[in-house]
Chain A
Amino acid sequence: GAVVSQHPSRVICKSGTSVKIECRSLDFQATTMFWYRQFPKQSLMLMATSNEGSKATYEQGVEKDKFLINHASLTLSTLTVTSAHPEDSSFYICSAIGQGALVGRGTQYFGPGTRLLVL
């Protein structure tokens, strides 16, 4: 139970293009989803928090126009990296907090991550 998926698992794109990453909670309703970025050999850096049906809250230093987050339903959040550049290359991980018998209160369940490489 409490499974979170991400798609795609890896993506390579050209500089200047936009890339959309999907995060889905498969067996529970996600009231809140988080997006993280992780550089090699480093910890996770929280980028933003999204609640279903409302605007995402971005952490300090994260460009909201660069990283567009949409949380349109209780099972889906998307992160769009707009006009991607090589410095945006990273491992992006989402997590979800939800309600229901399968999930622990206040526990974040993580997706498998998306490796983005911008050429």
Chain B
Amino acid sequence: AQSVTQLGSHVSVSEGALVLLRCNYSSSVPPYLFWYVQYPNQGLQLLLKYTSAATLVKGINGFEAEFKKSETSFHLTKPSAHMSDAAEYFCAVSDGGDYKLSFGAGTTVTVRA
């Protein structure tokens, strides 16, 4: 079964600082990997996805993630945090068969002025 581990349930950064959210997956087949963002009382918005094309994936709102097979990781970064980045972030993995997603526990990002 697929599983995803997000290290750190809460990350606090200063505005303008680097945002780094960690995600490790376990998959026996080349996975589809996703990062979603959820604002309070809203659904999930797709930030980016990895589908075995390029290992460095650029998403919306200045986020990017790098797929590292040797480390089974798919960490999300943004060079300069903005107040609007405060939200819950979920990493998810799918093996592509039935397209079911396995979600990580989520990481709450707060941005300090």
Contact = CB atoms under 8 A, between A and B. Distances in A.
Interface of A: 4, 6, 32, 34, 42-44, 46, 49, 91, 93, 95, 97, 104-113, 115
A47 to B, nearest CB: 12
Contacts of B94: 106
A50 B49 CA distance: 23
A54 B106 CA distance: 32
Contacts of A110: 36, 43-46
8 contacts: A4-B43, A34-B101, A43-B105, A104-B49, A105-B51, A106-B99, A110-B44, A113-B42
Contacts of B74: none
A9 B58 CA distance: 31
A61 to B, nearest CB: 15
Given A97-B99, A108-B34, A112-B43, 20 more contacts: A4-B43, A42-B105, A43-B90, A43-B104, A44-B44, A44-B103, A46-B100, A49-B98, A95-B43, A104-B49, A104-B51, A106-B94, A106-B96, A107-B49, A108-B101, A110-B43, A110-B45, A110-B46, A111-B43, A113-B41
Contacts of B49: 104, 107
A7 to B, nearest CB: 13
B63 interface: no
Q: Which 9 A-B pairs have the closest CB atoms?
A: A110-B43, A110-B44, A112-B43, A43-B103, A113-B43, A106-B99, A111-B43, A43-B105, A43-B106
A78 to B, nearest CB: 17
A97 B46 CA distance: 13
A76 B20 CA distance: 37
